Structure 1
């Protein structure tokens, strides 16, 4: 009888361990060889909003390689504020105005993938060339936007030469002389 209970406990423990292991993996499974390429702080009118970190398996040149952009928030911001700020920057950097249906679709997709953030929370976006972007909140998947045009426009907010913060871009890309 003792062996039966011991066996049942082992099976129960195995089931608990299997169930506690997520069926998904965090963003690192998409980029198993990723290393920190660079990092920096984003401030707005002197307020530190987030720390940005760029992870990749090699230099981020062009849009041919996958990478992860991790934002660690230092301030509380609503999901709506994140979506609105992202759409404003996407529209600002677009070569021509986005069609209204595209802008609405992208805003809705971000609203589904993002959350209200508090200090210490992390949102990580993984850029997947030719596929789109995958998002994680504190390591848990929060959404995937299977639209390569969206992914490029979104990550350009930080990595395009026309970004609002060229110094942060240089820091993320690990370029020399990026001291702030």
Structure 2
């Protein structure tokens, strides 16, 4: 019992210092009172790709209010692969045909860079049609596109997607 108190204190300190629960600098600017809603890891064939975190001003997710989604990469990925996958996923979610989404390719290319393990991309949904993107805390771009919030962020947050378990974790579910 004598050792329990120091162990609990150490565990509390480690949880506060953990990167998964640290508020990223870009959140202070974008959502000053940001609280983490949920987090989860995305893996392919048991190979971790990124850790995802969802942040809102009140700790509860709603499609109707601004939020931020941070992806902390655990491996290197080329920017063109991120853009191609994004357009493919948005198309699958009803954002339009490959041809109608082509004008979105240039803005996405301006937003995304090659990522290495430890890099963080944060997308801040500022309105139904707008978002701002940061790489490791530095703003890279803003995008305006009809229905962008649902079509883009739905890749991770839509409960009906291929990653329903990750989506539930991000939105604060089990």
TM-score (norm 1): 0.77
Tell me, yes or no, if structure 1 residue 172 matches structure 2 residue 170: yes
Q: Per the alignment, do residues 91 and 26 of structure 1 end up closer, same or farther by CA in structure 2, a change over 3 Å counting? A: same
**Would the aligned equivalents of 1:133 and 1:148 in 2 still touch at CA under 8 Å?**
no
Tell me, yes or no, if structure 1 residue 60 matches structure 2 residue 61: yes
Aligned match of 1:133? 131
**Would the aligned equivalents of 1:93 and 1:162 in 2 still touch at CA under 8 Å?**
no
Q: Per the alignment, do residues 163 and 28 of structure 1 end up closer, same or farther by CA in structure 2, a change over 3 Å counting? A: farther
Q: Which SS does the other structure have where 1:85 is aligned?
A: helix
Q: What is the root-mean-square deviation in Å for CA atoms of aligned residues?
A: 1.6
String of CA shifts for 1:101-150, please: whole Å, max 9, x gaps: x4112122111110000000000000012340100000000110022422
Aligned match of 1:81? 81
Q: Distance in 2 between matches of 1:146 and 1:170?
A: 27
Aligned match of 1:104? 102
Question: How far does residue 162 in structure 1 lie from its aligned partner after superposition?
Answer: 2.0
Figure out how many residues of one structure are paired with residues of the other and give that number.
149
Question: How far does residue 164 in structure 1 lie from its aligned partner after superposition?
Answer: 1.4
Q: Per the alignment, do residues 148 and 68 of structure 1 end up closer, same or farther by CA in structure 2, a change over 3 Å counting? A: farther
Question: How far does residue 28 in structure 1 lie from its aligned partner after superposition?
Answer: 2.6
Structure 1: 5+ residue stretches without partners: 1-24
Q: Distance in 1 between matches of 2:130 and 2:41?
A: 25
Aligned ranges 1:158-169 → 2 under 5 Å: 158-169=156-167
Aligned match of 2:115? 117
Aligned ranges 1:14-29 → 2 under 5 Å: 26-29=26-29
The structure whose Rg is larger is 1
Question: How far does residue 99 in structure 1 lie from its aligned partner after superposition?
Answer: 6.6
**Would the aligned equivalents of 1:66 and 1:129 in 2 still touch at CA under 8 Å?**
yes
Question: How far does residue 98 in structure 1 lie from its aligned partner after superposition?
Answer: 2.9
Tell me, yes or no, if structure 1 residue 42 matches structure 2 residue 42: yes
Q: Which SS does the other structure have where 1:26 is aligned?
A: helix
Q: Which SS does the other structure have where 2:52 is aligned?
A: strand
Q: Please identify runs of 4+ aligned residues in structure 1 that moved more than 3 A.
A: none
TM-score (norm 2): 0.80
